Structure 1
């Protein structure tokens, strides 16, 4: 069987082109350090790699969420510790004020310290994060946790304006963790304290008065 020169050249050229293409592919694989460059190189492996990429992206997101959650909780814990310390000082001052041996001037002086601690608790309760969102307002994070109305009567000037809903953070597949703490009971305590401050700041306050005594005991409790 005779082979024409043209046919021979075409066959050799095709073989060389195919060999060159294979060499180029191998060199490219070596350069990128990857066996699969295109989905068509290995469809099954490509599907597996795509699935692994998605899983890796999800894990990265979970790690980022966990990091953000830990940072948020550390910040909240620090603020709650400060509120707790202020409330312990409030309790000490209220117990001191309840001592019957104090003069009215002594009790009036205590009321000034109570005012400072009351305002400190309010400021801590309305702490915001780096994005300007209130930490303890639940999902209503753009609203102050506790609002103060100076025009209202003592005992009704503080209002909880957040909500008690939880901000859930996804930390794993099917796993969520709450990121916030609610301070919905704090407004009532501040209103109660406000009434006591009014009582104790009155000139010549009489701690034997049943109303004054009752509010002082209730606030301390």
Structure 2
């Protein structure tokens, strides 16, 4: 095959252009700090980076969801703790009424205290964080009336903390204080103390029994409020379990995020020492090629003639 001067020139220009392109790419990488500045630089690595970015973004969203869920559950847990304390006082008053006969003043005091304790339970049931009522489900208005009638929803808002994995962020106020929706019947006789317990209704029934000096009703009230206190304790345990799960998931996501970001950085971030050496070598090679090409281009047929 005959190699013409034109072919030699074109080949030389092509090689020089490739060398110049390599230098430009290295300079761009050093200036930006990124190995890949456009998809055409490395299509395969670009795809890997996009996948990693998607996973990191998902992890950030899950972390945000967990933070919001933890806030709601902590507020819920604080309210449940207050409710548990109130129920201990209700139990004491009910127990005192069974233990002995009080005079009219003692009875009036017990009734007044129980009435106040019920109102405080209702207030706790209307706890909210921002615009969200933690015991109201998806209701945007106050879930409990002053008398304890529940008007919220029984749904528990869920947040996604991992693919196809959710955690409830609140507790159903209807189930907690009314034993369900509609409210459960107040236990009496053989059904006293059985779950689910209508706590607010049981306090009302206990007040009525005290006013009527109904010993059997008071005894039923003792059983009901004890079961009601246990019902709140169960809710506390459930919330605590969810908080532990969120904490574990948060730690796992944080570790996974660190791994993903490390892999992303290994692919994308420039190793300046390595890039500097490569740029120096490439520049030296380019200058040598440029010098050799300029000398060869001056040759003609006469240079080969003896």
TM-score (norm 1): 0.77
Match of 2:120 in 1: 120
Q: Residue 16 of structure 1: CA displacement?
A: 6.1
Aligned pair in 2 of structure 1 residues 96, 55: CA closer, same or farther (>3 Å)? same
Match of 1:217 in 2: 219
Match of 2:200 in 1: 190
Larger helix proportion, structure 1 or 2? 2
Preserved contact between residue 118 and residue 200 of structure 2 (Cα < 8 Å) = yes
Preserved contact between residue 209 and residue 215 of structure 2 (Cα < 8 Å) = no
Aligned pair in 2 of structure 1 residues 214, 183: CA closer, same or farther (>3 Å)? farther
The 5-angstrom pairing of residues 143-162 of structure 1 reads 143-148=141-146, 157-162=147-152
SS in 1 for 2:142: coil
Q: Distance between the aligned counterparts of 1:46 and 1:56, measured in 2? A: 15
Preserved contact between residue 135 and residue 173 of structure 2 (Cα < 8 Å) = yes
Find out whether 1:179 has 2:169 as its counterpart.
Answer: yes
Match of 2:158 among 168, 180, 186: 168
Q: Residue 42 of structure 1: CA displacement?
A: 1.1
Preserved contact between residue 133 and residue 143 of structure 2 (Cα < 8 Å) = yes
Match of 2:139 among 119, 135, 141: 141
Q: Residue 59 of structure 1: CA displacement?
A: 1.1
Q: Distance between the aligned counterparts of 2:212 and 2:120, measured in 1? A: 27
Q: Residue 68 of structure 1: CA displacement?
A: 2.1
Count residues with an aligned counterpart. 200
Q: Residue 23 of structure 1: CA displacement?
A: 2.4
Q: Residue 34 of structure 1: CA displacement?
A: 1.6
CA RMSD in angstroms comes to: 2.7
With 42-51 and 173-182 compared, the bigger mean Cα shift is at 173-182
Render the CA deviation track for 1:113-152: whole Å, top value 9, x for unaligned: 11221111111111001x22100122x231333223xxxx
Q: Residue 198 of structure 1: CA displacement?
A: 5.2
Q: Residue 24 of structure 1: CA displacement?
A: 2.8
SS in 1 for 2:115: helix
Preserved contact between residue 133 and residue 140 of structure 2 (Cα < 8 Å) = yes
Preserved contact between residue 122 and residue 148 of structure 2 (Cα < 8 Å) = no
Q: Say which structure, 1 or 2, has more relative contact order (CA 8 Å, 6+ apart).
A: 2
**Tell me, which stretches of 5 or more residues in structure 1 are unaligned?**
149-156
